[in-house]
Structure 1
């Protein structure tokens, strides 16, 4: 695997994705024989013997090659090479080195990129149905473990099952394999401690989803759109007071050094700002077996994504403390304000011009309930909060040991992703 130089700009994550169903990504393949969904590595290598070498350019999410998100994407790339017997070569490009976040669809169409993790919520005008879905996701719980699992599952399930959302991808030349990777539930990091609603009054708060404006204003702050790559300096210069993003993102870009006060909602959720795993024009040129391999490796990609999100929560508390801050919950009055804002956001979706908002809210609620039950069935429970997460979380700190996360990853693959596998 060849690794490109790490750029300084923040970025569009890219990952290859695609779908065989007309309502789930569309597109055909260059043909050839496929393999069963449970094919072994030996069976895959045998199927690739007569396949010409394939070279893929893959832009990933993080600007930091050692970040958890990079481990996830690097493992995915390496596994494509390994399982294809070396017939697939993946060239990794880090955050924004080929295309800026909003340029990813064009780069996938014109061939600069073949695979990408597209920051879908960065373009609300082009992806309005998807953004509506992320807004409806404020119905999800904001707990460290179950909330994380439920958010991942519901985002993916509802995306795949909503034709208007899938059409937003296909109409722009993107082929979906994994429609939503939230990279972790959203937290707020602040340069100074903010323990009462008065502390948020007038604060400049960065958001990355359209609904964040409503949530920030409900807290008394003012929304700002500082670019991720400029955030560290903005905190240093006092231009930025707080920012909404996943703990994984805050860690990857080093923000806890300058914004070590981390806040999580206790009963509510900040709206997620997930990206999507997508492929471009080259997808239809790939033989069927290559498309299937990219799809089938999503089983491990999901467990790696969970590791990324959950290990970042574990590390956030330590990093915040080391920088003179802490991980804690929003104060009770701010929680009440956020609750009111979220109720208004969900209610407002009923008037959406992009899709049937009432049906969307129902689908999101049903998916949240379904995956909450599945999480409990598989033994995943919240035994504490964010502040003491490291003391009760049972997962390993070793990226190579994701056994604890594999049961839920397998269930999500089987129920959400597998039905859309190319065939």
Structure 2
């Protein structure tokens, strides 16, 4: 389907309560150029109907002052494979608003680190951001519970990514515990749980077999990944992702579990020239979220709706960031002689076993409802069928991904279906 041209150490499931966050009293500047600027009276004003023609949107914002919002994304620069996560959204918002909303992209924790980003959203320093609630399981236990359940599915380079990201968002929007803990922390979901991309093992030496993982020092980015590495016999190491390159270079760690956009962006193959991948299961993910803060909450209603309605372009850019980076990675593998090998059946069996145990534990905990397994299964079945009905298909294996993947693939039909089925009732009104 072609794209049409268009405008740790602690287990998260053991946590049973969310840390309370004090209510914030926020004052925002009314001058043009701040995220809080807008209607002359300071109220939300009138909006427009979902699906309205551009002339109705133009009429709804005709008397509004221009505003600028900042949006912090994980990409390090415009050249990063992760930049479409921001650039596609920026272009759509600015076009739909007739230039009245300017989206300033902030690169890779340049305003606030992952440790402080949720507070920065709540107090107005950041308007919109990619965040990592998995780094704070005590504060976001419901989020982490769903993240823990996303590992273990069969791994495929394109369809698998489409399905798991859609399922994660779908189930998250329908899980009151996740929405409530975000609200309790003074943030508003744009994507309450973003499954991100498949994780791969990037190692200094080949490690395709279960025996290779015994005692292997592996950098992890979530409590679930920590426990999985321990389960298969490795030694999990919790360090920041930005430190992984140097740790691999120095031999402090043997491997890192990483998404390929980070691998390409960080140049990991230079110091760890082996790529391992599962097919019948998947390593635990380190899910993120796309959240807005107090500044966006103070915008005129029509501006909030333009941001929310631009989800289709965000989704396109997000999948481009994750899926297209695999083409970049495989190209580097072929050009530089990086070793690439599928994980052995014994290793994949243990990874799958861990995923099944994890799902049982999360379900028994009740953190996100006793029926979470059934809800996830139903969502997977529904969105798998939807993807097939839309005509998306894979034409080869992961190791030849650069040969058969079409970089012009249009993911917006799936985004629109997700929006209308799961997000529309949450649209600002």
1:254 aligned partner: 267
What are structure 1's unaligned runs of at least 5 residues? 1-28
**Residue 416 of structure 1 is aligned with which of 419, 422, 425?**
422
Preserved CA contact (<8 Å) 1:138 1:270: yes
2:153 aligned partner: 140
SS at match of 2:130: strand
Residues 304 and 402 of structure 1: CA distance in aligned 2, closer, same or farther (over 3 Å): farther
Give the Cα separation in 2 of the matches to 1:168 and 1:323: 45
Give the Cα separation in 2 of the matches to 1:310 and 1:237: 30
The Cα of 1:315 is off from its aligned counterpart by 1.8
Residue 322 in structure 1 maps to residue 322 in structure 2: no
1:168 aligned partner: 181
Preserved CA contact (<8 Å) 1:183 1:308: no
CA RMSD of aligned residues (A): 1.8
Residue 372 in structure 1 maps to residue 378 in structure 2: no
The Cα of 1:256 is off from its aligned counterpart by 2.2
Residues 66 and 181 of structure 1: CA distance in aligned 2, closer, same or farther (over 3 Å): farther
The Cα of 1:64 is off from its aligned counterpart by 3.2
Preserved CA contact (<8 Å) 2:87 2:317: no
The Cα of 1:353 is off from its aligned counterpart by 5.4
2:76 aligned partner: 63
SS at match of 1:372: helix
- Cα deviations across residues 322-351 of structure 1 (Å, max 9, x unaligned)? 343233321121112112211211121133
The Cα of 1:278 is off from its aligned counterpart by 0.7
Range that drifts further, 288-297 or 189-198: 189-198
1:392 aligned partner: 404
The Cα of 1:381 is off from its aligned counterpart by 2.7
Residues 192 and 149 of structure 1: CA distance in aligned 2, closer, same or farther (over 3 Å): same
- Cα deviations across residues 133-176 of structure 1 (Å, max 9, x unaligned)? 11111253211222111111110011000000111100000011
Residue 265 in structure 1 maps to residue 294 in structure 2: no
Preserved CA contact (<8 Å) 2:217 2:234: yes
Give the Cα separation in 1 of the matches to 2:368 and 2:426: 22
Range that drifts further, 158-167 or 130-139: 130-139
* Structure 1 residue runs of 4 or more that deviate by more than 4 Å after TM superposition: none
**Residue 296 of structure 2 is aligned with which of 258, 268, 283?**
283
Give the Cα separation in 2 of the matches to 1:257 and 1:410: 39
1:237 aligned partner: 250
1:32 aligned partner: 45
Give the Cα separation in 2 of the matches to 1:252 and 1:183: 15
Give the Cα separation in 1 of the matches to 2:363 and 2:85: 36
The Cα of 1:383 is off from its aligned counterpart by 3.3
1:212 aligned partner: 225
Residue 311 in structure 1 maps to residue 324 in structure 2: yes
Give the Cα separation in 2 of the matches to 1:49 and 1:100: 36
The Cα of 1:402 is off from its aligned counterpart by 4.4
1:359 aligned partner: 371
Aligned pair count reads 388
Give the Cα separation in 2 of the matches to 1:272 and 1:106: 24
Give the Cα separation in 1 of the matches to 2:336 and 2:245: 14
Give the Cα separation in 2 of the matches to 1:37 and 1:171: 28
Preserved CA contact (<8 Å) 1:316 1:327: no
Residues 352 and 329 of structure 1: CA distance in aligned 2, closer, same or farther (over 3 Å): same
The Cα of 1:66 is off from its aligned counterpart by 1.2
Give the Cα separation in 1 of the matches to 2:287 and 2:355: 18
Residues 38 and 410 of structure 1: CA distance in aligned 2, closer, same or farther (over 3 Å): same
Give the Cα separation in 2 of the matches to 1:348 and 1:48: 49
The Cα of 1:55 is off from its aligned counterpart by 2.2
SS at match of 2:116: helix
The Cα of 1:297 is off from its aligned counterpart by 0.5
SS at match of 2:90: helix
Preserved CA contact (<8 Å) 2:153 2:280: no
2:31 aligned partner: none
Preserved CA contact (<8 Å) 1:139 1:365: no
Preserved CA contact (<8 Å) 1:137 1:364: no
What are structure 2's unaligned runs of at least 5 residues? 1-41
SS at match of 1:388: helix
